[in-house]
Amino acid sequence: MQEAPGGSTHYRAVAMHATEAACSQHAEMGFADGWGAALDQLVALMG
């Protein structure tokens, strides 16, 4: 995380998968939704 202009926080998560098949499998399992839920929980904790 790094401080963004205006005192806010800029958050960027990067997921790298070893193979295209692993990427597809994680997508089917709701990988993005899980990360979104975790970020929502972090925001709630910090707020």
Residue 6 falls inside a structural domain: no
Residue 2 falls inside a structural domain: no
Residue 5 falls inside a structural domain: no
The backbone torsions φ and ψ at residue 3, rounded to the nearest 5 degrees and listed phi first, read -70, 130
- pLDDT of the residue at 2: 60
Residue 22 falls inside a structural domain: yes
The number of beta carbons lying within 10 Å of the beta carbon of residue 34 is 11
Q: Tokens representing 45? A: 């904790």
Give the CB-side neighbour count of residue 17, counting CA atoms within 13 A: 10
**Per residue in 4-47, pLDDT tens?**
667 777 788 888 999 999 999 999 999 889 888 998 998 899 87
Residue 13 falls inside a structural domain: no
Number of domains in the chain: 1
- pLDDT of the residue at 24: 95
Residue 24 falls inside a structural domain: yes
Residue 10 CA to residue 35 CA, distance in Å, equals: 16
The radius of gyration of the chain's CA atoms, rounded to the nearest angstrom, is 14
Residue 12 falls inside a structural domain: no
